[in-house]
């Protein structure tokens, strides 16, 4: 093959690759980047649910850091949650997964008890749906 044919094939593969990932890129831009940019814009405005947003600049941030006592309380609660609840949840979740993976007596019973809430909601919805179809047809 000549280098010109190889270059054309490589260009074709590159375009095809970009076409394949374009839905993901569009989703990223529309569903992630759009709301992030909108949040940044609205953080510099004062607005209600009805009416136009009014540009106030850094006034919102000045008010939060200087006059809002609940901001500092919410920040401390968030840090406390992040430093305690998240790691403890991960540790207990890993411990439970390791426990359910061990070969112990009554393992099937323990797994059933653990997964029962997840399964029951689907069964309840299915039985309600089935019951409503059978009673409405009579």
Are 9 and 16 a contacting pair, CB within 8 Å? no
Q: Could you read off the pLDDT of 97-131 as tens digits, one per residue?
A: 888 788 878 888 888 888 888 877 777 777 777 66
Q: Could you read off the pLDDT of 66-105 as tens digits, one per residue?
A: 999 899 999 999 999 999 999 999 999 999 888 878 887 8
Q: Could you read off the pLDDT of 6-60 as tens digits, one per residue?
A: 889 999 999 999 999 999 999 999 999 999 999 999 999 998 888 888 999 999 9
Q: Which helix (H) or strand (E) holds 4?
A: helix 3-27
Are 60 and 43 a contacting pair, CB within 8 Å? yes
What does the alpha-carbon distance between residue 38 and residue 57 come to, in Å, rounded to a whole number?
A: 15
Q: Specify the 3-state DSSP secondary structure of 53.
A: coil
- Give the per-residue pLDDT at 131: 66
Indicate the Cα dihedral angle 107, 113, 117, 118, nearest 10°: 10
Residue 30 CA from chain centroid, whole number: 15
- Give the per-residue pLDDT at 22: 95
* pTM tops 0.85, yes or no: no
């Amino acid at each position: 093959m000549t280098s010109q044919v190889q270059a054309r094939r490589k260009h074709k593969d590159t375009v095809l690759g970009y076409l394949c990932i374009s839905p993901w890129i569009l989703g990223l831009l529309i569903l992630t980047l759009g709301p992030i940019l909108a949040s940044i814009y609205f953080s510099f405005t004062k607005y209600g649910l009805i009416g136009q947003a009014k540009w106030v600049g850094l006034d919102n941030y000045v008010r939060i850091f200087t006059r809002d006592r609940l901001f500092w309380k919410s920040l401390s609660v968030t840090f406390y949650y992040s430093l305690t609840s998240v790691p403890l949840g991960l540790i207990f979740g890993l411990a439970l997964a390791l426990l359910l993976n061990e070969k112990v007596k009554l393992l099937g019973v323990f797994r059933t008890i653990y997964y029962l809430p997840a399964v029951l909601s689907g069964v309840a919805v299915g039985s309600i749906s089935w019951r409503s179809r059978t009673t409405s047809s009579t």
